[in-house]
Amino acid sequence: MAANKRITKSTMKFLRQDTHKKKRLSKTWRKPRGCDSKQRLRMQNRPIVNPGYGSPGNQKGIHKSGLEIVFVEKASDIDSFDQKKQGAIVSGKVGLKTKILLVEKLLKEGIKILNITNPEEYLKIKKESLKKKKSRKEEQKEEKETKKTEEKKSIEDKLSEEEKKKIEKKDIDKLLTKRT
């Protein structure tokens, strides 16, 4: 674990050429490709990404905490877990409901979740947002139903008595001819 921290601290920060000159250029690495590029020609003292800067093979796929990274997408992935050596990352492909279930199960098992800093607080926030979504949907359904009934009432008010009788007759005929 200590060796992993030492290696991660000493990794180089590779910067894109001229990021210090132009604000619009991001700090993410882009290989210099210009024919007169001083960085490409190694005239500048800035490093270029090369295989030699990579971390040792035994450290690859290991989190900063020293745990092996395992992606969790289903509840069945949690069953074959070694708590001492492995840490879980809940996949981003998973929806909110299943993510909540997975985090709850991981907490119950006592497995460390690497991509969520405070899982208890995360669960609380996400459950509240789910409740809000459900309540919004129910409100929208109720609004639609009330609108429909209001429209029917407004149409019925505009119709004459004869037309109302015809509509009632049609409804009765529908009920009588309906197959059961």
Give the residue with greater pLDDT, 32 vs 166. Answer: 32
Assess whether pLDDT exceeds 90 at residue 102: yes
User: 106-156, pLDDT tens digit by residue?
Assistant: 999 999 999 999 999 999 999 999 999 999 999 999 999 888 888 877 776
Over residues 89-104, the mean pLDDT reads: 94
Q: How many CB atoms lie within 10 A of CB 139?
A: 10
Structure tokens at 29: 């690495």
User: 28-71, pLDDT tens digit by residue?
Assistant: 999 999 999 999 998 988 888 888 887 788 888 888 888 999 99
- In angstroms, the CA 96 to CA 84 distance is 27
How far CA 175 is from CA of 164, 169, 178, in Å, comes to 17, 10, 5
Q: What is the pLDDT of residue 7?
A: 59
Q: Residue 6 region, left (φ>0) first, then alpha (ψ -120 to 50), else beta? A: alpha
Structure tokens at 105: 């199960």
User: 66-86, pLDDT tens digit by residue?
Assistant: 899 999 999 998 988 888 899
Cα 85 off chain centre by: 26
